[in-house]
Amino acid sequence: MLGPYHANENDASIMRKIIDSMSNLVQSDDIFVLDRGFRDVVPLLQSKGFKVMMPSIKGKRKQLTAKEANESRSVTKIRWVVEAKHGALKQRFKLLDQTLDNKMLPKIKSLYRIASYLLNLFSKPLTSDIHMSNEIYEQMISKNYSENILAVEVEQKGWMRKKLPFQMFSSNDITDFPQLSEPELKLLFTGSYQLGQAISYLAELLDENGAFKMAYVKDQTKILKIQVQSRHISKKVYRCFIKYHPEAEGIHTIQQYCCECANGLRTVG
Beta bridge partners of 242: 224, 257
pLDDT digits (tens, 9 = 90+) for 209-251: 777 777 778 766 788 888 887 777 777 888 899 998 887 777 7
Instruction: Look at residue 158 in the predicted model and tell me its pLDDT.
Output: 87
Coil, strand or helix at 87: helix
% of the chain at pLDDT higher than 90: 18
pLDDT digits (tens, 9 = 90+) for 73-124: 889 888 888 888 888 999 999 988 888 888 888 898 999 999 999 998 998 8
Instruction: Look at residue 220 in the predicted model and tell me its pLDDT.
Output: 62
Coil, strand or helix at 216: strand
Q: Kindly tell me if the per-residue pLDDT of 269 is higher than 60.
A: no
Average pLDDT rounded to a whole number, residues 166-183: 79
Confidence of residue 32 (pLDDT cuts 50, 70, 90): very high
Q: Pairing mode, if any, of strands 31-33 and 51-53?
A: parallel
Average pLDDT rounded to a whole number, residues 148-167: 86
254-259 sheet: strands from edge to edge: 167-169, 214-218, 223-229, 237-244, 254-259
Distance (Å, rounded) from C-alpha 241 to C-alpha 257? 5
Q: Where are the domains of the chain?
A: 1-54, 63-268
Instruction: Look at residue 188 in the predicted model and tell me its pLDDT.
Output: 86
Q: Kindly tell me if the per-residue pLDDT of 192 is higher than 80.
A: yes
Average pLDDT rounded to a whole number, residues 42-59: 91
Average pLDDT rounded to a whole number, residues 29-36: 91
Residue (of 86, 112, 96, 105) closest to 7 by Cα position: 105
Instruction: Look at residue 250 in the predicted model and tell me its pLDDT.
Output: 75
Instruction: Look at residue 171 in the predicted model and tell me its pLDDT.
Output: 66
Q: Kindly tell me if the per-residue pLDDT of 139 is higher than 60.
A: yes
Q: Kindly tell me if the per-residue pLDDT of 153 is higher than 60.
A: yes
